[in-house]
Amino acid sequence: MLYLLALKPGRVFLRNEILNAIWGNDVIVGDRTIDVHIRKIRQKLDMDCITTVKGVGYKFEI
């Protein structure tokens, strides 16, 4: 997920785009799954480089 976001810094990725890119269309996971993974990535990086765009998705900023 971090790799996907970091490929295009500043671009807002919709939750559905992230779901499809990582898990594909065949796996059923909820939107909250992405939120949990983003939170864990933020904790591990100890940086504010992933921004939440409310109601839309996430973006990576340098």
* Domain span holding position 22: 2-60
Cβ–Cβ < 8 Å for 57, 14 = yes
**pTM of the predicted protein model:** 0.84
- Average per-residue pLDDT in the chain? 92
- The CA-based angle 14-16-17, given to 5 degrees, is 65
Kindly report the CATH number assigned to the domain that includes residue 55. 1.10.10.10
pLDDT score of 11 more than 90: yes
Residue 58 pairs in a beta bridge with: 13, 52
Residues 16-31 pLDDT 10s: 899 999 988 887 887 6
Place of tokens 């909250």: 32
Tally of domains in the chain: 1
